[in-house]
Amino acid sequence: MDKTLDEPRGANPPVAFISHAACRLHQMSPGHPEQPARVSVIAEELRTRGLHDFLAHYEAPRATDDQLARAHPATYVEYIRAKAPAAGLEALDPDTAMCPDTLEAALRAAGANVLAVDLVMSGRARRAFCNVRPPGHHAERSRAMGFCFFNNVAVGAAHALERHGLERVAILDFDVHLGNGTEDIFRDDARVLLCSLYQYPLYPDMNPPSVPGRIVNCPLPGGSGSEAFRAAVTQHWLPALEAFAPQMIFVSAGFDAHASDPLAELELTTDDYAWITDTACAVADRHAGGRLVSTLEGGYDLAALAASGATHVERLMAGATS
Ligand SMILES: [Zn+2]
C-alpha cells in the first residue's frame, strides 16, 4: 500500500490543487502560445477570488518510468529523455520543442495525475485539479506533438486502472482540439469511455469515428457557440456516461474553446465552463462516489484562461463538501 493511502480520510475532504515550479520553467520559442504564464494566471485568479487558501496544495511528484510505461512504450520514454537538451531548444515537431527544463516539467505534469488519483482514491481529496504544463492530450503512445510530450491524463487513468484496480473510468475532453493522443492510447481499451468535443476542421485535422459505448466524438464547426456545445454534451456524452457508469471521472480541461482564444473559433463563454464542470461533477456524484480528477490542457488567451480555469476550480470546490 502506498504511504499516501495510509493516512486517515477527512469527513469533508478538500479539493486538491497540484502543481510544480518546473511547470513555469518549460518554455518553447519566444512568443509561443503555450507559455509559462498559463499556470500562473489561474493560481493568481484563485488568489484574487479568495479561494486559493481553501484548496489543499500539493507539489507534483515526478512520474516514474513504470507509471509512464502504462501509457507509453519504454522506448518512447527513453527517446524523450535522450532528446532533452542541455541548452537551447530541441524541436520534436514543428510546434513542440524541449528546453533544458522541459523533461522535469513533463515528468511533474504526468506525476501530478498519479498523485491526484492516489489522493482521490484514498479519500484525502474528493476532487483534484492539476495546474500543470506541458499539456498532454495530443501525446500519442509513441509521438510527441501539439505542445505535448507525455499524456498526463492517460498516465493518471492508467494508474487508476492498474494500481487501484478500477474497471471503468471515463475521460471527458472539452479542449477545443481533438485529444488524439488519449484516443490513440485507449482506443482499444474497453475499461475507458472517452468523450470528446472539439472544433473540426482544426488541428490535429483528425475526426475519427465514434465507437458505441466506448468513444463519443462530437466535432463542431467553428462558430458553434454555447448552445451547440451544451446540446452535444447533453445528447451524446450524458447517455453514454449513464450507460457506462464510470467509477472515476477524468477531465482534460482545455479552455481554448473560449470566444477570446486566438487558436480556435468555438465561441464558448466562462459560464459554459461552469456548466460543464457542474455537469461532470454531477456524473461523478451519481456513479463514481464524487471521484474526479481534472487536468489543464489548452487555453491561450491569458485573461480568458484565468477566468475560465478559476471558475472551473471554483465549481469543483462548490460541491466538494455537499
Ligand atoms: Zn487545445
What one-character-per-residue DSSP string does 275-320 give? HHHHHHHHHHHHHSTT-EEEEE-----HHHHHHHHHHHHHHHHHTT
Helix, strand, coil % over all residues of the chain, rounded to 5: 40, 20, 40
Residue (of 43, 197, 58) closest to 115 by Cα position: 58
From ligand 1's centre to the CA of 34, what distance in Å?
Answer: 10
Confidence at residue 12, expressed as pLDDT on a 0 to 100 scale: 79
Confidence at residue 236, expressed as pLDDT on a 0 to 100 scale: 98
Q: Are 67 and 52 in contact (CB under 8 A)?
A: no
According to DSSP, the residues that pair with 259 across neighbouring strands are none
The residues of the chain scoring below 50 in pLDDT are 1-9, 320-322
Q: Are 85 and 98 in contact (CB under 8 A)?
A: yes
Q: Based on C-alpha coordinates, what's the Rg of the chain? A: 18
From ligand 1's centre to the CA of 9, what distance in Å?
Answer: 35
**What is the rounded CA–CA span in Å between residue 114 and residue 164?**
11
From ligand 1's centre to the CA of 297, what distance in Å?
Answer: 6
Confidence at residue 10, expressed as pLDDT on a 0 to 100 scale: 53
Confidence at residue 27, expressed as pLDDT on a 0 to 100 scale: 97
From ligand 1's centre to the CA of 247, what distance in Å?
Answer: 26
Confidence at residue 219, expressed as pLDDT on a 0 to 100 scale: 98
From ligand 1's centre to the CA of 199, what distance in Å?
Answer: 10
H helix count then E strand count, the chain: 10, 10
| 195 phi/psi in degrees, rounded to 5 | -110, 120
From ligand 1's centre to the CA of 150, what distance in Å?
Answer: 15
At a CB cut-off of 8 Å and minimum separation 6, what does 245 contact?
A: 168, 287
Confidence at residue 206, expressed as pLDDT on a 0 to 100 scale: 98
Active-site positions read 138
Residue (of 220, 204, 322) closest to 272 by Cα position: 220
**What is the rounded CA–CA span in Å between residue 300 and residue 262?**
7
Phi-psi label, residue 170: left if phi above 0, alpha if psi -120 to 50, beta otherwise: beta
3-state DSSP call for residue 110? helix
**What is the rounded CA–CA span in Å between residue 295 and residue 114?**
11
Confidence at residue 73, expressed as pLDDT on a 0 to 100 scale: 98
Q: Which residue has the cell 492530450?
A: 137
Confidence at residue 321, expressed as pLDDT on a 0 to 100 scale: 44
DSSP 215: E
Q: How many CA atoms lie within 13 A of 169 on its CB side?
A: 27
How much is the pTM?
A: 0.96
Residue ranges of the alpha helices (H) in 193-301?
A: 225-232, 238-244, 270-287
- List residues, by chain if needed, whose CB lies under 5 Å from ion ligand 1: 175, 177, 254, 256, 298
From ligand 1's centre to the CA of 204, what distance in Å?
Answer: 9
Residue (of 282, 47, 46, 70) closest to 163 by Cα position: 70
From ligand 1's centre to the CA of 253, what distance in Å?
Answer: 9
Q: Are 285 and 319 in contact (CB under 8 A)?
A: yes
Q: Are 294 and 253 in contact (CB under 8 A)?
A: yes
